[in-house]
Amino acid sequence: MAFRPLFSRDRFWAGLLALLGLILSLWALHGMLRYPVGPQSVLLGWAALVLLGLTALLLYRLWALHSLDYWVQRDAIHILWHGEEAIIPLRYIREIRVHPQLPLRPSWRHWPEPWIQWDADTHTLAYATQPPQAAMAIITQEETYLISPENPEAFLAAYRERRDFGPARQRQPLIYLAPWRQHWLLHDRGARALLVGGLLLGLLLLSYTAWHYPQLPPTVALHVNAQGLPDFLSPRRAIFLIPGFTLLMGFLNAAIGFALYETRRFLSYLLWSTSVVLQIIAFIIILDLIP
């Protein structure tokens, strides 16, 4: 028997903020396209990028909240959330307490899901949309599970009915993770640092070039000879070839390294590190060319 969680006002406000963020990001993108290449377009581009990122994060967390479900079955209580399944066998449950007094604080950095967390001090796994005073606690010998079903009375009745009926098979307390929740990218900080670092350096290089583009002369020297004299002149728009090339190489290296990670991890790290080094070298070249 399935039970939906209590509706949280945080979901409503998060949905409004996501809609507002999407509108503002589209407005910033529209403004960026209207302005010529320069400081204004760079600022609007970064504003659109940040707003789109925050909007995507809010939508991701709203989807996670929407996936929250409680199932009372003959053998166990199942809690489904975000590709995770917690199994609590009925024979391990010592008590189900309504409106428990738990010293649990909301984790606002995970808003709009501040009551979904793991508290090591109290051994509490919280899968709730409400604070403890408005939820219920499933207490076992080792852990406490905080939940907030929409209909607590029906939930308790379903639990007692199945407990009295007796289990069909013996289960153990378990937490299953979906395969995507176990992906190597979520657990390898070094890989994430190289991938994100290379992308940020590429975007910063492109932004720096666009910021100073209006002050460049119509023709720029992309190469000088041994005497320090320019021997390769080009229209100033050609300066974008440098950040464009390094960004393209960064994306190619990221894709190849991603594909080779599980079989050639060292090669993946080498490709991602090369992308970061290329961005740094390109930054040095741009800093030398623009003045």
Q: Is the pLDDT of residue 231 over 60?
A: no
Q: Is the pLDDT of residue 234 over 80?
A: no
Strand partners, 128: none
DSSP codes of every residue in 198-231? HHHHHHHHHHHHHHHGGGS-SEEEEEE-TTS-EE
Residue 66, C-beta contacts closer than 8 angstroms, at least 6 positions apart? none
What pLDDT is stored for residue 24 in this prediction? 96
How confident is residue 223, by pLDDT bands cut at 50, 70 and 90? low
Closest CA to 203 of 258, 275, 273: 275
Q: How far is residue 238's CA from residue 72's CA, in Å, rounded to a whole number? A: 65
Residue 120, C-beta contacts closer than 8 angstroms, at least 6 positions apart? none
Q: Is the pLDDT of residue 226 over 60?
A: no
Q: How far is residue 181's CA from residue 31's CA, in Å, rounded to a whole number? A: 38
Structure tokens at 47: 């504003």
**170-217: pLDDT as tens digits:** 888 888 888 888 888 888 899 999 999 999 999 999 999 999 988 888
* Four-CA torsion 210, 214, 217, 223, nearest 10 degrees: -10
* Four-CA torsion 258, 263, 266, 272, nearest 10 degrees: -10
112: cis peptide before it, omega within 30°? yes
- Angle between helix axes 241-260 and 265-289 (nearest 10 degrees) is 170
8 A C-beta contact, residue 73 and residue 53: no
What pLDDT is stored for residue 65 in this prediction? 92
| Average confidence score pLDDT of the chain | 89
How confident is residue 291, by pLDDT bands cut at 50, 70 and 90? low
SS3 call for 240: helix
As a whole-number percent, the residues of the chain with pLDDT over 90 amount to 63
> For 90-162, where are the E strands, in sequence order?
93-98, 116-119, 124-127, 136-140, 144-147
- Global confidence as pTM: 0.85
**89-116: pLDDT as tens digits:** 999 999 999 999 888 889 888 999 999 9
> For the chain, where are the E strands, in sequence order?
2-3, 69-72, 76-81, 84-89, 93-98, 116-119, 124-127, 136-140, 144-147, 174-177, 219-224, 230-235
